[in-house]
Structure 1
Amino acid sequence: MDNLSTIIGRNLYEIRKKKNYSLDKVADLTGVSKPMLGQIERGISNPSVALLWKIASGLNVSLSYFIEESKDETRYVQFNDIQPLYDSKSQMTAYPLFPYDDNRKFEVFTIFLQPGCNHNSNPHNDGVEEYIIVTEGQLDLVITETVYKLHKGDALSFPANKKHSYQNSSDTLVCFNNIIYYAR
């Protein structure tokens, strides 16, 4: 497997060329500076989850599009082989189990939140849905202003075109699976 920064850079370059966009156009669409986009494309910079979400939303693609490397029909995923995405600001680590597949229209992550973590997510595009399944700890999921306290085994789905955040207000690690479905 290639270095994650290399994969992200290659995929950003490919989507940009496929859409016939210049770096300036991508910067306008995403709000990410042209120099930063150039560094990402060259594999020099490893963007945070928040920055990748910003780019993905601006280009109207899934987050995992940027980390996808294999297109095999059968996929066996060994957790220890996954290169995680970090958001050090909010203490969140996301493991892309099944990156976005255009035929299936979804992606699957395992996400860990450290104690005290508060990860804010901007609204996704219309038609995007999230499905959350808590596997460890208690997750406080805030959608707009409503707080849902999810415990191990609890699940929740919601239209993700609203402001939402994932919070761990406990003193133990929280783990959950996040399935993101992209309606077209």
Structure 2
Amino acid sequence: MTAEVGFDEQALAARAGAAIRAIREKRQLSMREVAARAGISQPFLSQIERGQSMPSMITVYRLAQTLDVTPGELLPTSTESKVTVVRGDEGRLLPVADRADAALGRVLVFNPDEKLQIIEYKIERDQYIGEWFQSPGLLAVYVVSGLLDIEIEGAGDYRIGTGDLISHPAPLRHRWLLVDNRPAHVLMVITE
């Protein structure tokens, strides 16, 4: 009798390879250098990083020692805990300003550990959105529908419409304005 394993081995190998490659690149080490220090061939390390081969435990320990990390940092964890679903009627509401007529954003993702925020705004007529904002990192605004004028202090004024995306360093002060007071549906993404 054979027990079924609940793992997608190909996906597991791909995630392990990606983790090893990311740490190697962060350490600014060449593939050849890491392979030599770990006592494996460079073509084998290439296969591991591309997810075509899964390293043995001995190889994981050698790579971990070479990269100055724990072996666990090279092995992927379950992806189940990394999956988040936010339904259309869920998400914390976040006003753009401390005013009664301020537009409300719906926080879809706010993860300080990964430094990622995604906020959805459904801006109705006469709702206030003209507050100046700035934050660390990079900001991107995607217009699902409608038109926005975006003022970026020192960088200019931009009109973006349905299907358009604008991104800029988030420390630049910026604000949005509805065009002709028509509603807009917008996604804002901030990464640090």
TM-score (norm 1): 0.53
Mapping of residues 10-21 of structure 1, within 5 Å: none
Higher relative contact order (CA 8 A, sep 6+): 1
Mapping of residues 162-173 of structure 1, within 5 Å: 162-173=172-183
Alignment identity in percent? 17
**Which runs of 4 or more aligned residues in structure 1 lie more than 4 Å from their structure 2 counterparts after TM superposition?**
none
- State the distance in 2 between where 1:174 and 1:88 align: 20
- State the distance in 2 between where 1:135 and 1:75 align: 21
Q: Which letter does structure 2 place at the counterpart of 1:122?
A: F
Mapping of residues 36-51 of structure 1, within 5 Å: none
Q: 2:148 corresponds to which residue?
A: 139
Mapping of residues 35-184 of structure 1, within 5 Å: 72-86=81-95, 87=97, 89=99, 91-102=102-113, 104-116=114-126, 117-125=128-136, 128-144=137-153, 146-182=156-192
Q: CA deviation at 1:101?
A: 4.2
* Cα contact 1:115–1:169 (8 A) shared by 2: no
TM-score (norm 2): 0.51
- What root-mean-square deviation, in Å, do the aligned CA atoms of Structure 1 and Structure 2 show? 2.2
* Cα contact 1:115–1:173 (8 A) shared by 2: yes
For the pair shown, the structure with the greater C-alpha radius of gyration is 2
- State the distance in 1 between where 2:87 and 2:122 align: 17
Q: Tell me the matched-pair count.
A: 109
Change (3 A) 1:88 1:138: farther
Q: Which letter does structure 1 place at the counterpart of 2:104?
A: T
Q: Which letter does structure 2 place at the counterpart of 1:78?
A: R
Q: Which letter does structure 2 place at the counterpart of 1:173?
A: P
Q: CA deviation at 1:150?
A: 0.4
Unaligned runs of 5+ in 2: 1-80
- State the distance in 1 between where 2:140 and 2:191 align: 8
- State the distance in 2 between where 1:98 and 1:123 align: 18
Unaligned runs of 5+ in 1: 1-71
